[in-house]
Amino acid sequence: MESHLEAFFPPGTEEHDLLLKIDLCRLPGHIAVIMDGNGRWAEQRGLPRAQGHDAGAVSVRETVEAAARLGIDFLTLYAFSSENWKRPAAEVGRLWRLLREHLGKDVSLLVDNDLRLRIIGRREGIPRTALRELERVEALTRDNRRMTVVFALNYGGRQDIVDAARRIVTEGRVSPGNLDETAFAAHLATAGMPDPDLLIRTSGELRVSNFLLWQIAYAEIHVTPVLWPDFRRRHLLEAVLDYQKRDRRYGDVRAPARRSRGRT
């Protein structure tokens, strides 16, 4: 095992044992996560929901770092959906404030680890101060190459598809006859990124909640009962291990020979 991995997942730990079972040549190129269960985590402890979101921020940091060390190329985190505006104003405000604060604190995590930040979702709906900070960090990390961390903010899968259709019509560069799946996908918020190979949802809910609807067409889905604030490195490794047990057939009768990276 490579020494930088041994240092991060030290021998004798549960993480190390899991890592030994993972084929590092067949990692998912893109992992997407529906980070769910912050509210229930807090409620179970008699705490206000906001504290669940605070605790969830620790899981974000740990997951980002572990995915980067492992060698994942893209990690997309669903942090605020286009439907989350329905929540009480105080919770919505807290979520955006939290994001701003953590981004400010964790810029060094991105910079020091050569990580690029990218955001997807309707920018015009994002509170101005949060957007300013997000765009600053996006610009600051634009040339980083180790892994891209994508934050889905004010994101809805249906909106993404509608926005792509609008762009195609407005730009008028693609004729109806030339509009195929590749041309369409190039107008989605995720343009230039491979589709997710692995979709993780925490807190046991069996739904996709309007996340990356187009892009998850052939993603392998891993649902864990673990609530997001309890999600640790070992849970990420378990999800990758589960992914590697799947037979990805893409409609064929058998899996294509050695597909180690996602399709675009």
Residues touching ligand IPE, count (CB under 6 A): 18
Check: CB of residue 137 under 8 Å from CB of residue 117: yes
Which two three-digit tokens encode residue 256? 């294509």
Residues 17-56 that bind Mg ion (CB under 5 A): 36
Question: Which one of ligand IPE, Mg ion, none interacts with residue 196, CB within 5 to 8 A by kind?
Answer: none
Q: How far apart are CA 14 and CA 233, in angstroms?
A: 10
Q: How far apart are CA 136 and CA 132, in angstroms?
A: 6
Cβ of residue 75: shortest distance to Mg ion, in angstroms? 20
Of 34, 70, 131, 147, the residue at the interface with ligand IPE (CB under 6 A) is 34
In sequence order, which residues have a C-beta less than 8 Å from that of residue 148 and are 6 or more positions away? 73, 74, 75, 115, 116, 117, 118, 193
Of 39, 157, 196, 262, the residue at the interface with ligand IPE (CB under 6 A) is 39
Question: Which one of ligand IPE, Mg ion, none interacts with residue 193, CB within 5 to 8 A by kind?
Answer: none
**Structural Rg of the chain based on CA atoms:** 19
Of 5, 163, 186, 209, the residue at the interface with ligand IPE (CB under 6 A) is 209
For 28, phi then psi, to 5°, come to -65, 135
Question: Which one of Mg ion, ligand IPE, none interacts with residue 160, CB within 5 to 8 A by kind?
Answer: none
The amino acid at residue 67 is: A
Which two three-digit tokens encode residue 119? 């955001």
In sequence order, which residues have a C-beta less than 8 Å from that of residue 180 and are 6 or more positions away? none
The amino acid at residue 101 is: E
Cβ of residue 71: shortest distance to Mg ion, in angstroms? 30
Q: How far apart are CA 129 and CA 114, in angstroms?
A: 25
Q: Sort 155 into a burial class: Cβ within 10 Å, 0-12 / 13-18 / 19+.
A: buried
Of 35, 57, 147, 239, the residue at the interface with ligand IPE (CB under 6 A) is 35
Question: Which one of ligand IPE, Mg ion, none interacts with residue 35, CB within 5 to 8 A by kind?
Answer: ligand IPE
Cβ of residue 208: shortest distance to ligand IPE, in angstroms? 8
Active-site residue identified among 17, 38, 73, 84: 84
Residues 60-99 that bind ligand IPE (CB under 6 A): 78-81, 84, 95
Name the nearest CA neighbour of 215 among 25, 27, 31, 26. 31
According to the binding rule CB under 6 A, does residue 224 interact with ligand IPE?
Answer: no
Give the sign of the dihedral formed by CA 163, CA 169, CA 170, CA 174.
positive
Catalytic site includes residue 84? yes
Catalytic site includes residue 36? yes
Q: Which residue is nearest to Mg ion (CB)?
A: 36
Of 6, 14, 114, 205, the residue at the interface with ligand IPE (CB under 6 A) is 205
Question: Which one of ligand IPE, Mg ion, none interacts with residue 78, CB within 5 to 8 A by kind?
Answer: ligand IPE
How does strand 30-34 pair with strand 115-120?
A: unpaired
Active-site residue identified among 36, 54, 160, 195: 36
Residues annotated as catalytic are 36, 84
Query: Residues in the site for Mg ion, rule: CB under 5 A?
Result: 36
